Structure 1
Amino acid sequence: MAEHEGVDAEEFKSTFRHHPAGVAVVTADDGAGPAGLTATSVVAVSAEPALLAFSLTSASTTAPRVLGARTAVVHLLGAGEVGLARRFATGGIDRFADPGSWTRLPTGEPLLREVTVWLRCRIAQRLTAGDSTLVLGEVLGTHQNTSDRCPLVYQNRTFYVLGESAVVT
């Protein structure tokens, strides 16, 4: 029997903690009410057609609710939205307890009121990948109000805000 090659889960996670990632909250409704979670795995996949992807760990109690929905809203968080990132990353709470913090789009998806950049998508594919599910979403619509907005990123278990400084090559 061949020896399994690769790194263990803790080594893998420790290595990726040093790679910053944008922060998003994914919301959906599978028919049992609104559900949502914080994700740092959102990536643009294709411009034509417009596709994005994110992964959901099987350890998340919210993941089955998002996976059971036909559509979702991916909220891309900015500097002023770290509270949302923390709330939607906290287990065992009602993340939608404050009725003033969210509403529904005309199509039914839960929308976080204070987030100014979001994408509505149809869940096109779900692919089991190890202990996670990779979700491919076809983007059906977007909303952008990015004036004076600095993105929120996550690195080594800490939230950071990207400023306006750029590295010039």
Structure 2
Amino acid sequence: MSQPSPAGAETNDEIPEHRFSSSLSPEDFKALFRGHPGGVAVITADAGDGPVALTATSVASVSAEPPLLIFSISALSSASDVLSRAGTVVVHLLDANDIEVAELGAAHGVDRFAQTHRWSRLVTGEPVYSDVRAWVRCAVIDRMDAGTSTVIAAHALQSHIERDVQPGGAGDALVYHNRSWHQLGAHSRIEP
């Protein structure tokens, strides 16, 4: 027998499913985010069937203590099945020097691991691309279905920074904006 909830509190069984009489069309929603740039990352994993990779602009830090990040994957991605089962992932945080890796992760119908000189496996087994700006190995701690995507929360376990960016420095950030790649640097900095 379940205990009654305090007045005003909802249990998981009582959370209402939101249904709205209207919402933005997919085209309108995409138009909103075309003008909102996102940092570029490539996520790799292997759930025992061979490595997969995909390019994502949805990676975001959530907490420094504990070190948590999130990202989302579309159910239409060829990597979604493996990422739905993998216990660990490697998130590669890219800069403009890594454009080829970003394009490889975004390409359709190609073997993203055919060029064996570009990647290796960590001692823990995860596939990792070499010479990228930075990568972080993470344990998947939660998954949440959200529309046609899955949001994955991950705990950072191990990292490597190949090209560090000093606080306040320009760096060579790679962003995706309005369906194209862009490089941020000293030329794009705005002084208040």
Question: Could you state the TM-score of these two structures normalised by the residue count of structure 1?
Answer: 0.94
Q: 1:147 to 1:135 in 2, by over 3 A?
A: closer
Tell me the residue number matched to 2:175: 153
Q: For residue 190 of structure 2, what is the aligned residue in structure 1? A: 167
* Corresponding position: 1:13 with 2:33: no
- Structure exhibiting the larger radius of gyration computed from Cα positions: 2
Q: 1:147 offset after TM fit, Å? A: 4.4
Once the 2 structures are TM-superposed, how far is the Cα of residue 164 of structure 1 from its aligned partner? 2.1
Structure 2 stretches of 5 or more lacking a match? 1-18, 166-170
Task: Quote the Cα distance in structure 2 between the aligned partners of 1:168 and 1:97.
Answer: 44
The residue number in structure 2 matching 1:135 is 152
TM-score (norm 2): 0.83
Describe the SS at the equivalent of 1:33: coil
Which one of the candidate residues 43, 48, 55 is aligned to 1:26?
43
Q: CA deviation at 1:151?
A: 1.2
Larger % of strand: which?
Answer: 1
What is the percentage of aligned positions where both structures have the same residue? Answer: 43
Across the aligned residues of Structure 1 and Structure 2, the Cα RMSD in angstroms comes to: 1.4
CA spacing shift, 1:80–1:3, aligned 2, 3 Å: closer
The 1-side partners of 2:174 and 2:84 are apart by 25
Displaced runs of 4 or more, over 3 A: none
Question: Matched residue pairs, number?
Answer: 168
Shift of 1:3: 6.2
Structure 1, gaps ≥5 residues long: none
Find the residue that maps to 1:4 and give its secondary structure: coil
Aligned with 1:120: secondary structure?
A: strand
What is the alpha-carbon distance in structure 2 between the residues aligned to residue 5 and residue 49 of structure 1? 38
